[in-house]
């Protein structure tokens, strides 16, 4: 059993899976709110769509880290000999993936909530959509920081 | 630069009011202030407003049937005011036709709904074979019509003085009971003890079955009529242009008429108070002079306590970035307009967050095409121009960092992508400077470095502004002190910080000593003078020490620039992943499959990269804006200015031309 490869795969899976779940929830709730607003005023669909997209980025960041883990550890090319019998190496990949997995999961959900509030704001004051976007992006900051540390840790594994 | 505003007091004759207001509206330079005593609304304005409402309802009713404007056709068509006014009578008659069609439609739908629900209630009774109207009380017999629960049937059957008829076998059974008139009261009391619900037949002819048939026939007729109404509405789809023109013409009239009710009046004159830009005074007076000589036109500067609207004026290059600033907040009147100081940083940082030559070219081309064909106005125009400049910056950063649609020098996506990557490797100047994937610490350092420059620039802009207002104390103690602290600490600790990252930068000892000295001086200034308006020396000292605590916020501001690196990486790596995915389609060995796969690969590449550039350009736009609002503007900007809304042609569908 190549435990190193298993742990590394778990790292890639966690990054993509949890960040993806977060984004799915975030985009889901904003989508519901958008549909409500757009049913009243179809002209606002563009503005609502922009706000709906914002919590979607965490899923992309998770995918990014998953790919970098897969590339760096050799999971992508199938050359996992270095991981054979090296549990430590594999677990390092798993731990390095955790910031974006958990940070992405939670921040996407909360960003979704802020974006829902932003969409409600757009319904009342369509000209203020930019402010709603900036509010949502404040939450995203922490997903970006999670992405950054995950990335640096993963590429630091030689 | 914030434009200085003038307060206008215009007095002229009532008889010329309408012509003067028209001239002012055409000129579009004066924001009318409400100085009216009550809030009486001009009856004429009310009538116009009602017409606007009707037009807008008509527009949304026929919109689904109107020809969609072409993908690249302008957002607003250019027309003269006279031309759109000419459309008003025609639009009025069209709107009333549409209104009556909508009215018919609503009625038909309501009738249909009601008929269907009647059918629903009659459905259980189809087995009743006598006309519904025939079941009515006679002097000797009393009927009870209703729905009873099937579990209570045995109890009904047990009543000897009742004649019973059931009409189906569901859980609530349609039932007719008959009894002698004398027993009627007993039966009523009995029915209260069981699960019984009275039922009243609708006033219709014939048996329930016949009634249902006639309802169905009526519904079919209604459906046909609805289709006809729909078709009639569809025919009006072509007149949407006329309706929209009229909508704008009426809106223009409404704006002017409602301004009328904000003026002050004497017996024969009216008084207009308003704000206008100091550089448009001449133009405004000209507009009035073209109407009449009988007027008094007085202007003065704003006085203490007044809050004039805030307007900024910049050169053509900086102007679009005003929209980015407006997304945050307008500057308070009399403070500083941040746009010119923000523009270069916005362009620089935006490009760094995307840093891909291919995506930059797409953004440039996309925004140029959008500007050329859609002819946007207002905010979308500004944003498109911002994206154009951002695109140029992205191209430059893409060359510096060596990324082209996600392809880098060390590309491993395979196929044509790797060939291009190898080509970049051979020519050797792509990346021209730094490969973020290989030298990530250097890249991160660069981002922090740019952040420090940005933050220090913010303090310096603030200091210069304070000097300009003659407030040298605030400039030195609140702004320059922090420049000293930030730069001093960064330079002083540069060898140590870079040493942690593995590539120590050696600085002469004397430089670090001077730097740390400067930082200490800055800190001293803050501690001694932060609380300079407090008399109590102890309070003053605590206020100063508390001020020094702001160093943590400067530090977190600097760390915030890590997003530049992370977002740049996100764009590049995701682009690379998309290339890899697309390339997988070309892997077939069978030649026919390979051709199909290659076509699929091209389609996929186009789709995936479009998605990537869209979502990352959005991210770069907003994150870059945030760096300006929080990290940069936090150092010098005062928000809260009010929007300038002059009386003008405020149209939705038409661009009014001369």
Give the chain A residue nearest B577 (alpha carbons): A67
Q: Where are the domains of chain B?
A: 136-200, 321-641
What is the per-residue pLDDT for B387? 96
Q: How far is residue B82's CA from residue B657's CA, in Å, rounded to a whole number? A: 10
Q: Over 90: is that where the pLDDT of B74 sits?
A: no
Most confident of A15-19, B234-238, B470-474: A15-19
| CATH of residue A108 | 1.20.120.610
Q: Which tokens belong to B68?
A: 């969609």
Chain B residues with CB-CB distance to A53 below 8 A: 615, 618
Q: Which tokens belong to A149?
A: 């540390």
CA angle A71, A76, A82 (to 5 degrees): 75
- Measure in Å the smallest separation between the Cα of B42 and chain A Cα atoms: 27
CB contact under 8 A, B615 and A144: no
Residues spanned by the domain of A69: 3-156
Write the residue in B328, B574, B625 that is nearest to A64 by C-beta: B574
Q: How far is residue B190's CA from residue B248's CA, in Å, rounded to a whole number? A: 69
Q: Is B414 left (phi over 0), alpha (psi -120 to 50) or beta?
A: left
Chain B residues with CB-CB distance to A64 below 8 A: 569-570, 573-574, 577
- What mean pLDDT value characterizes chain A? 92
B164 confidence band (pLDDT: 50, 70, 90)? confident
Give the chain B residue nearest A40 (alpha carbons): B60
Closest to B247 in 3D by CA, of B488, B406, B54: B54
Write the residue in A57, A63, A140 that is nearest to B615 by C-beta: A57
Give the chain A residue nearest B629 (alpha carbons): A134
Instruction: Say if domain B136-200 classifies as CATH 3.30.70.2750.
Output: yes
- Measure in Å the smallest separation between the Cα of B574 and chain A Cα atoms: 6
A64 contact B CB<8A: yes
What is the per-residue pLDDT for B69? 81
Structurally, chain A folds into a number of domains equal to 1
Average pLDDT over residues B29-36: 91
Block residue for tokens 């009529």: B225
Q: Over 90: is that where the pLDDT of B370 sits?
A: yes
B568 confidence band (pLDDT: 50, 70, 90)? very high
CB pairs under 8 A between A and B: 69
Average pLDDT over residues B583-597: 87
Task: Render pLDDT for B427-479 as a digit per residue (tens, 0 to 9).
Answer: 888 888 888 888 888 899 999 999 999 999 999 999 999 999 999 999 999 99
Q: How far is residue B655's CA from residue A132's CA, in Å, rounded to a whole number? A: 29
CB contact under 8 A, B574 and A71: no
Closest to B56 in 3D by CA, of B648, B653, B656, B657: B653
CB contact under 8 A, B570 and A130: no
Average pLDDT over residues B226-235: 92
Q: Over 90: is that where the pLDDT of B227 sits?
A: yes
Angle in degrees, 0-180, between the axes of helices B81-122 and B208-235, rounded to the nearest 10: 170
Q: Which tokens belong to B346?
A: 């916005």
Q: Which tokens belong to B49?
A: 């407003």
B151 confidence band (pLDDT: 50, 70, 90)? confident
Task: Render pLDDT for B5-27 as a digit per residue (tens, 0 to 9).
Answer: 999 999 999 999 999 999 999 99
Task: Render pLDDT for B255-278 as a digit per residue (tens, 0 to 9).
Answer: 999 998 889 998 999 999 999 999
Task: Render pLDDT for B514-551 as a digit per residue (tens, 0 to 9).
Answer: 999 999 999 999 999 988 888 888 898 899 898 889 89
Give the chain B residue nearest A43 (alpha carbons): B60
Q: Which tokens belong to A21?
A: 């779940």
């Amino acid at each position: 059993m190549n435990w190193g490869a298993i742990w590394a795969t778990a790292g890639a899976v966690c990054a993509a899976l949890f960040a993806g779940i977060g984004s799915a929830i975030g985009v889901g709730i904003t989508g519901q709110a958008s549909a409500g607003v757009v049913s009243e005023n179809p002209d606002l669909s563009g503005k609502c769509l922009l706000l709906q997209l914002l919590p979607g980025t965490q899923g992309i960041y998770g995918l990014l880290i998953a790919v970098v883990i897969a590339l760096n550890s050799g999971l992508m090319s199938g050359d996992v000999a270095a991981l054979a019998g090296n549990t430590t190496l594999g677990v390092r990949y798993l731990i390095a993936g955790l910031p974006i997995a958990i940070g992405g999961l939670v921040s996407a959900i909360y960003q979704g909530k802020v974006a829902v509030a932003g969409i409600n704001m757009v319904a009342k004051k369509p000209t203020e959509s930019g402010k709603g976007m900036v509010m949502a992006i404040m939450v995203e900051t922490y997903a970006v920081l999670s992405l950054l540390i995950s990335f640096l840790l993963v590429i630091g594994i030689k | 630069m914030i434009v200085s505003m003038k307060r206008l007091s215009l007095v002229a004759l009532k008889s010329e009011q309408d012509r003067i207001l028209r001239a002012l509206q055409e000129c579009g330079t004066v924001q009318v202030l409400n100085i009216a005593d009550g809030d009486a609304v001009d009856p004429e304005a009310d009538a116009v407003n009602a017409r606007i409402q009707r037009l807008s309802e008509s527009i949304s009713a026929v919109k689904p049937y109107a020809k969609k404007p072409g993908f690249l056709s302008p957002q607003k068509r250019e027309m003269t005011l006279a031309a759109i006014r000419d459309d008003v009578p025609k639009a009025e008659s069209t709107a009333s036709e549409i209104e009556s069609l909508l009215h018919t439609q609503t009625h038909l739908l309501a009738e249909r709904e009601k008929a269907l629900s009647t059918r629903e209630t009659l459905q259980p009774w189809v087995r009743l074979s006598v006309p519904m109207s025939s079941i009515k009380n006679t002097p000797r017999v009393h009927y009870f019509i209703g729905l009873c629960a099937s579990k209570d049937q045995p109890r009904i059957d047990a009543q000897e003085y009742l004649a019973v008829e059931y009409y189906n076998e569901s859980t609530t059974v349609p039932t007719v009971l008959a009894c002698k008139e004398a027993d009627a009261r007993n039966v009523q009391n009995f029915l209260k003890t069981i699960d019984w619900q009275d039922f009243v037949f609708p006033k219709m002819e014939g048996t329930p079955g016949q009634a249902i048939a006639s309802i169905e026939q009526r519904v079919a007729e209604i459906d046909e009529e609805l289709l006809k109404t729909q078709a009639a509405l569809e025919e009006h789809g072509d007149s949407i242009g006329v309706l929209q023109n009229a909508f704008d013409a009426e809106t223009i009239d409404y704006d002017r008429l409602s301004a009328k009710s904000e003026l002050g009046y004497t017996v024969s004159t009216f008084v207009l108070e308003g704000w206008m830009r100091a550089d448009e005074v001449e133009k405004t007076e000209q507009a009035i002079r073209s109407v009449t000589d009988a007027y008094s036109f007085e202007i003065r500067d704003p006085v203490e306590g007044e809050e004039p609207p805030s307007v900024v004026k910049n050169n053509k290059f900086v102007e679009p970035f005003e929209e980015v600033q407006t997304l945050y907040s307008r500057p308070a009147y009399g403070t500083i307009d941040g746009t010119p100081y923000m523009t270069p940083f916005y362009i620089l940082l935006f490009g760094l967050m995307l840093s891909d030559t291919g995506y930059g070219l797409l953004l440039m081309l996309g925004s140029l095409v959008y500007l050329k064909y859609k002819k946007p106005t207002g905010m979308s125009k500004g944003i498109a121009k911002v994206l154009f400049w951002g695109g140029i910056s992205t191209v430059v950063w893409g060359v510096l960092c060596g990324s082209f649609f996600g392809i880098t020098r060390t590309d491993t996506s395979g196929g044509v992508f790797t060939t291009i990557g190898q080509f970049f490797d051979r020519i050797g100047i792509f990346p021209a400077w730094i490969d973020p994937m290989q030298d990530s610490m250097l890249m991160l350092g660069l981002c922090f470095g740019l952040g420090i420059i940005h933050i220090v620039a913010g303090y310096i802009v603030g200091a210069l502004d304070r000097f300009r207002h003659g407030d040298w104390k605030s400039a030195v103690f609140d702004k320059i002190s922090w420049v000293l602290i930030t730069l001093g600490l960064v330079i002083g600790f540069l060898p140590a910080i870079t040493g942690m990252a593995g590539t120590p930068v050696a600085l002469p000892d004397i430089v670090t000593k001077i730097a740390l000295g400067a930082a200490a001086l800055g800190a001293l200034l803050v501690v001694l003078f932060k609380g300079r308006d407090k008399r109590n020396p102890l309070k003053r000292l605590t206020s100063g020490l508390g001020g020094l605590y702001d160093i943590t916020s400067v530090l977190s501001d600097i760390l915030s620039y890590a997003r530049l690196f992370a977002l740049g990486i996100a764009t590049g790596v995701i682009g690379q992943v998309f290339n890899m995915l697309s390339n997988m389609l070309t892997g077939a060995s069978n030649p026919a499959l390979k051709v199909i796969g290659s076509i699929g690969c091209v389609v996929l590449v186009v789709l995936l990269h479009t998605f990537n550039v869209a979502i990352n350009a959005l991210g770069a736009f907003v994150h870059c804006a945030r760096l300006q609002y929080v990290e940069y503007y936090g150092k010098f900007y005062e928000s809260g200015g009010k929007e300038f809304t002059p009386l003008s042609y405020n149209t939705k569908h038409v661009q009014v031309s001369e």
